[in-house]
Structure 1
Amino acid sequence: MSKVRVVRANLKGSTISFSLGRRSPRRKEPELPVAVRRMEKRLASTVGGASRLARMRAGLTQADVAQRIGVATEVYGRMERGKMLPSVPTLLRLCVVLRSGPDELMGLAPRNSSPEDSPWADEVPSGLDDTPDMRRLLRTLRRLRRPQIKLMHLVATAIIARS
């Protein structure tokens, strides 16, 4: 058994040492057949390309979509580049946000020419965040604490009063 020696020094300069036993090796996941890996890669590429087109059609940024579906921007970027497949719940949230059906995003149906034709169009509430600038501002404001929000309210009120 190989051992790892860990040494720590305390404030008086004396040392304490102890050894840890060898770690058990990680279990490897069983490899998928080549045909399945190829199919998953093609599907990830198809979903990513369709998501990108639907996002651009909706006038959203990657950060907007990521925030709305509840994933990190980097994760959504990997999905859009076809490097990973979304989970089923994430795919459904993506359909709602992008106003596209899952069949469209997975390449099983033709892409809709306009989001209004989609059966998913009525499920996305429209609000104040219709422009990229407003969405960016709202994302920033959501990270503020209560005192900072009160201060921003005072600043906005003062700006409006001068207009």
Structure 2
Amino acid sequence: MALPRGLAGTIGTAARAARVRANLTQEDVAERVGLATEVYGRLERGGMLPSVPTLKKLCEVLRIPSDVLLGLTPAQENFWTKEPPARPVEEPGEIRRLVRTVKRLEPAEFRLLSLMATGLLRLRLMRHGRSSDEPAPP
């Protein structure tokens, strides 16, 4: 497979490297930037250029300077050779995917899911002989 060329390829390659370095999926980044996952995938493959507002959001979400994303930083000053900035602790991927799914539920479906989760927690607490006001085991 040939590597993408030009500015779109430069942005796509840098975005992918930053995403992988941040341990995010394409779906994670797409959601945070406000793009469809398919569109973000095309951007990473160098198949399109982002709009300026999208480019700004990409820099924020991926924590990458715009000059690196645009390929303007010389290699010896490259962002990748520096330590990554401290990142807040993020939820595991499974939880992020669950939250995305829950956001798509209708209100009645959400209430049902909430009742089911509460019931499961109560069942686990009963199995361990705890009351519902005690902290749950991990």
TM range (shorter): 0.7 to 0.9
Q: Which one has more relative contact order, counting CA pairs under 8 Å at least 6 apart? A: 2
- Cα distance, 1:108 vs. partner? 1.4
Q: Partners in 1 of 2:118 and 2:24 — Cα distance?
A: 28
Indicate yes or no: 2:8 matched with 1:44. Answer: yes
> Per-residue deviation at 1:146?
0.8
In the alignment, does 2:103 pair up with 1:134? no
Match of 1:6 in 2: none
Q: Deviations over 1:112-131 (max 9, x none)?
A: 434317xxx6xxxx57x521
- How far, CA to CA, are the matches of 1:82 and 1:68 in structure 2? 20
* Greater per-residue helix proportion: 2
Aligned residues: 115
Instruction: Tell me which amino acid in the other structure corresponds to 2:115.
Output: L
Corresponding residue number in structure 2 for 1:111 = 79
1:72 aligns with 2:33: no
Structure ID, larger Rg? 1
List gaps (5 residues or longer) in structure 2.
125-138
Identity of aligned residues (%): 50
> Counterpart in 2 of 1:102?
66
Q: Which 5+ residue runs of structure 1 have no aligned equivalent?
A: 1-40
**Greater per-residue strand proportion:** 1
Q: Determine the structure 2 residue equivalent to 1:158.
A: 119
- Aligned Cα RMSD in Å? 1.7
Would you identify which runs of 4 or more consecutive aligned residues in structure 1 move more than 6 Å? none
